[in-house]
Amino acid sequence: MFNLNGRNALVTGSSQGIGLALARGLAKAGATIVLNGRDIGKLEATAESLRSDGATVHLLPFDVTDHATAGTAVDSFETEVGPVDILVNNAGMQHRGPLENFDVEAFQKLLQTNISSVFNVGQAVANHMIPRGRGKIINIASVQSRLARTGIAPYTATKGAVANLTKGMATDWARYGLQCNAIAPGYFETPLNAALVADAEFTAWLKQRTPAGRWGKVEELAGACVYLASDEASFVNGHVLYVDGGLTVSL
């Protein structure tokens, strides 16, 4: 069960944090990893780290916010290397600030990075998966796909859109043999959350608010990703899997 041998997994934004943890988990299940990001130096260092653990790794650096660039990169990989069997749309960013004076340029950047990237890469990969009649697309949503918190309204909007775009992908593409699902992490110790992790008051609030009573560890997301990427999830489509220590089910 959950064997991913012989499958290529493209993970966007995979040089650190959640993306790297998911890439590592997929590699341990047997997948060949295709790392993506814009910083070549970071990607090369990440590739060496994964290879030292026995993983087979390819690099596919491109800007996920550029539709044409994403399509060209995916097409080239499919032609020169092999099929993208698994796509994990992980690339994302955060920008915090009061909604009433939130910077409009920061808002547009959030839209491009968190939503447009899912459309851009998802469409490029699906156009190869559909003729093959199989494929796995896993989008990284958030507890903010369901909940809101002060100071991050635009981010919340983008993650709500990721969850609904996932449902739309499933609705359109399940008939072609694709499974399109999302993982919605709770609060995890990542570079994106470094400021919050360092905030003693916020950490105390989080521990009280989350039934598990702690921050999540990025390694705890890998099992969900491997499951959704495997044949064991062959009839799971349009699902948003919350991995959040119980945060979204409690008051």
pLDDT above 70 covers a percentage of the chain that reads 100
Average predicted confidence (pLDDT) for the chain: 97
**Pairing of the two strands 240-243 and 32-35:** unpaired
State the average pLDDT over residues 113-142: 98
pLDDT at 113 over 90: yes
Tell whether 3 is covered by a domain: no
Q: Which are the contacts of 80, defined by CB distance < 8 A and separation ≥ 6?
A: none
State the average pLDDT over residues 246-251: 95
Helix extents (H) in 53-112: 67-80, 104-110
State the average pLDDT over residues 29-39: 97
Tell whether 168 is covered by a domain: yes
Tell whether 2 is covered by a domain: no
Domain that holds residue 106: 8-244
pLDDT at 116 over 90: yes
Tell whether 104 is covered by a domain: yes
pLDDT at 192 over 90: no
Q: How many domains does the chain have?
A: 1
State how far the Cα of 245 lies from the Cα of 150, in Å rounded to an integer. Answer: 21
**Active-site hit among 155, 187, 227, 242:** 155
3-state secondary structure of 119: helix
Tell whether 250 is covered by a domain: no
Q: Which are the contacts of 31, defined by CB distance < 8 A and separation ≥ 6?
A: 4, 5, 7, 8, 9, 85, 86, 229
Tell whether 21 is covered by a domain: yes
Tell whether 251 is covered by a domain: no
Q: So what's the pLDDT on residue 56?
A: 98
Tell whether 40 is covered by a domain: yes
The more confident residue out of 131 and 192 is 131
Catalytic residue status for 242? no
State the average pLDDT over residues 198-202: 95
pLDDT at 193 over 90: no
Q: Which are the contacts of 121, defined by CB distance < 8 A and separation ≥ 6?
A: 10, 12, 64, 70, 74, 87, 89
Q: Report yes or no on whether pTM surpasses 0.95.
A: yes
C-alpha distances in Å from residue 205, one per residue of 112, 156, 250: 31, 19, 14
| pLDDT digit string, tens, across residues 137-173 | 999 999 999 999 999 999 999 999 999 999 999 999 9
State how far the Cα of 110 lies from the Cα of 125, in Å rounded to an integer. Answer: 22
| pLDDT digit string, tens, across residues 77-102 | 999 999 999 999 999 999 999 999 99
pLDDT above 90 covers a percentage of the chain that reads 96
Q: What is the CATH number of the domain that holds 45?
A: 3.40.50.720
